[in-house]
Amino acid sequence: MSLGAAQYGPKFFGFNTPNLHLIEDTVPWVTPTSFEVNDGLVSVLQAGSSVTRIYTLAIGPSRDTVHITSNPVNSAFSWKPIAGTSNPTLFANEELFVALDNVLAAAGNLGVQIIVPLIDQWDWWGGVPAFASMHQVTTDEFYTDSHTSANFFAVVEYVAKRNNTVSGIQYRNDSAIFAWETGNELSMGGGRVPAQWTTSLTKLLKNVLNVKQYVIDGSYSLYGWDTEVLNEPSIDGFTGHYYQLPAKFLIASSISNSVSPAGTIIFFILSALCFILSIVFCIKPSLFRIKSDGKNLCALLGSVKGPSNQGKFDMALVSAKKRAIAICSLLVFGFIAFFALASVFIWLGLFRVKYADRFNVDHDLIVKQYKKLFYVGEFGLSSLSDYQNLLAAVNASQALGALVWSLRFHSRNGGFWNHDEGGGVQSFHLPGFAVNRTTAVGIASTGFGDDELAVVDLMKSYAAGNGASKSSQYYQKPPVGDPILFPPNVTKSIINGEAVAFVSLTWRGSTGARSYIIERAVSDPSIIEIPSNETNFVAVYSGVVDAVASGQTMLVDQVRAVPFSYRVRGLNEYGYGPYSSVVTAF
């Protein structure tokens, strides 16, 4: 689709929700419940966006929780053979595709559109390495082996033609899908995917399967795009992913993107020349027309009296010494100065690979030169200022929008799913929490980063300010959904001769709740003599957050060892949510 055919309205600024159809943050991986799906989608709407991006299909051995396998021996799932695949025949995991059905049906009902990348370049979810392994070819041969490509294209056809078991809509006709991406960060041999592979897949989607959604090249933007791909009519657009680059790319970028690559090289050459001349000068000053009587620089600088002057100062040597010091200083200064200038140019080059600059280069190529669609599919793992500059650039451009990596939603077990992105970076959660809490519970030994609130608020501000339509039901509204207070864990003890109980409380939260009020009442006033104000529910805690890893305790209440009842209620800046049901601690 050309730029002229696209309706460039307000942009989307939101979040990737990779776990929306398959939760990777527990062992084994699990499909999300209807509560978790709706919590994720409503969270996106509450943040002011109507577009989100899930992760790819999971591919690999059948012992794992995957969408596609070649060896369906795991009886925990129902496997369906995929037509058109052979040597090996591939099978689809019906349970996992039903989970995707649920996501798309819920998204359609709520008015959220989803970007669907087909396969991952990396092995996080199996991806290209697993698919290649099933076909006994290398990762690079995934793109060049005709039989492997044919089997993958058959998988794509199976997915596009799937009838949603919930909505009854074929995926290729479903308006809940915003776009198909050929993959996630696809590359071959540390470079571009072959143009023939990309265009063959996009022609299949657009011209043969007649998908009604955008078709986006999911190649890794880091490597750029071939002219053949940029000109391909079956490709509606492209996506940019912006992360901190590995060292090898930083070095390359510093040369190719610096303010003046030629200047960088020249300054390095001049610096090296000054260094070499300094060494030569130290060894043989006479080459520089310095009267040294064959002495090296050190000997010359230590001599001021000539042997023929009977101990008197040789003014010629004194003059030579002064000239030698001047020349030596000049050479050393030249070495240091030129090296410093070259280094500055290198660093200027590094600043050029900031997210906003990389985006501008990609945007101008794709949108302005080739008249195609473009959006930022992922960005993250950097500083807040980097995000601010990138979002400002997107907002000032003709791009469709930007999605930060990544959002994790509420857990069925209470708290949130969390994901450690590495380097101290954590996943984000809505509505955003000003906490930095880490719990050590197996794979969920992750928490809430200290940049969460700032990043979430930044994304919300751009979503609010760009004029995109907002959900009248959920945007800037009180928390949604009844919290579920789980049966508390109670331990008892004797303190100062009095029986006390420690009541550990955990609940499944309301979507959009920034904090909770906990109310308590004595369950049976006849048991003991108590003040009248304790017979009814009263707020005993406020400002309690559920920003903990899945299933973790949120509050421990110390009370007298008698039955107490509890209920919780979420709130945010727009009002109060509903109460939970009442639970009793014995």
Output the CA torsion sign for 125, 131, 134, 139: negative
Distance, CA of 323 to CA of 346 (rounded, Å): 34
Partners of 505 in the β-ladder: 555
Whole-angstrom distance, CA of residue 233 vs CA of residue 229 = 9
Under 8 Å between Cβ of 9 and 42 = no
Please tell me the predicted confidence (pLDDT) of residue 526.
56
Q: Does the predicted model carry a pTM greater than 0.85? A: no
Phi, psi of 312 (to 5 degrees): -85, 155
Report residue 367's pLDDT band, with 50, 70 and 90 as the boundaries: very high
Please report the pLDDT score of residue 530 as a whole number: 52
333 phi and psi angles, rounded to 5 deg: -60, -40
Residue 170 is given by DSSP the state B
Q: Which two tokens stand for residue 345?
A: 């140019």
Which of helix, strand or coil describes residue 491? strand
Residues 287-297 have a mean pLDDT of 59
Over 70: is that where the pLDDT of 104 sits? yes
What is the dihedral angle through the alpha carbons of 438, 444, 450, 454, rounded to the nearest 10 degrees?
A: -150
Task: Examine the pLDDT at 292 and tell me if it is beyond 60.
Answer: no
Give the pLDDT band of residue 328 (cuts 50, 70, 90): low
**Which residues, including other chains, have CB under 8 Å from residue 183's CB and lie 6 or more apart?**
56, 117, 118, 119, 120, 121, 128, 218, 219
Burial of 541 (0-12, 13-18, 19+ CB in 10 A): middle
CATH classification code of 12-253+354-465: 3.20.20.80
Residue 215: phi and psi, rounded to 5, are -110, 120
Say how many CA atoms lie within 13 Å of 92 toward its Cβ: 22
pLDDT bracket for residue 198 (50, 70, 90): very high
DSSP per residue, 407-435: B--B-TTSSB---EEETTEE-B-SS----
SS3 13: strand
User: What are the residue ranges spanned by the domains of the chain?
Assistant: 12-253+354-465, 261-302+313-351, 484-585
Task: Round to whole Å and give the CA distance between 325 and 319.
Answer: 10
Contact 224, 190 (CB under 8 A): no
Q: What is the DSSP string of 318-374?
A: HHHHHHHHHHHHHHHHHHHHHHHHHHHHHHHHHHHTSHHHHHHHHHIIIIIIT--EE
Give the C-alpha separation, 447 to 6, whole Å. Answer: 40
Contact 16, 40 (CB under 8 A): no
The least confident of 262-271, 440-449, 535-544 is 440-449
Confidence band for 276, pLDDT divided at 50, 70 and 90: confident
Nearest Cα neighbor of 488 from 583, 416, 570 is: 583
User: Which carries the bigger pLDDT value, residue 377 or residue 333?
Assistant: 377
DSSP string, 461-479: HHHHHS-----TTTTT---
Gap between the Cα atoms of 215 and 568, Å rounded: 46
584, pLDDT greater than 90? yes
Question: Superfamily assignment of 484-585 in CATH?
Answer: Immunoglobulins (2.60.40.10)
Q: What is the DSSP letter of 296?
A: -
Distance, in Å, from the CA atom of 485 to the CA atom of 510, rounded to the nearest integer, reads 11
Band (321; pLDDT cuts 50, 70, 90): low
State residue 502 phi and psi, 5-degree precision. -110, 110
Average confidence (pLDDT) over 9-24: 95
User: How far apart (Å, rounded) are the C-alpha atoms in residues 159 and 581?
Assistant: 41
Q: 248 pLDDT band (50/70/90 cuts)? A: very low
Distance from chain centroid for Cα 527: 55
Residue 317 pLDDT > 80: no
- Which residues does residue 494 pair with via DSSP β-bridges, in sequence order? 499
Residue 586 has pLDDT above 90, yes or no: no
Q: For the residues 495-513, what does the mean pLDDT come to?
A: 94
How far is the C-alpha of 549 from the C-alpha of 528, rounded, in Å? 37
314-327 mean pLDDT:
63
Please compute the mean of the pLDDT values over residues 292-320 and round it to a whole number.
55
- CA quadruple 445, 451, 457, 461: dihedral sign: negative
Look at the block and give the residue holding tokens 């009296």: 305
Q: Answer yes or no: are the C-beta atoms of 301 and 323 closer than 8 Å.
A: no
Q: For residue 56, give every residue at least 6 positions away whose Cβ sits within 8 Å of its Cβ, in sequence order, or none.
A: 117, 118, 119, 120, 125, 127, 183, 184
Confidence of residue 142 (pLDDT cuts 50, 70, 90): very high
Q: Tell me the helices (H) and strands (E) count for the chain, helix number first.
A: 13, 23
pLDDT for the residue 273: 75
- DSSP codes, 90-147: PEEEHHHHHHHHHHHHHHHHHT-EEEEE--BSSSTTSHHHHHHHHTT--TGGGTT-HH
When pLDDT is cut at 50, 70 and 90, the band that residue 435 belongs to is confident
* Chain mean pLDDT for the chain: 86
Which residue, 7, 6, 36, 9, is CA-closest to 21?
Answer: 36
* Pairwise CA distance, residues 131 & 137, whole Å: 9
Average pLDDT estimate for 370-396: 96
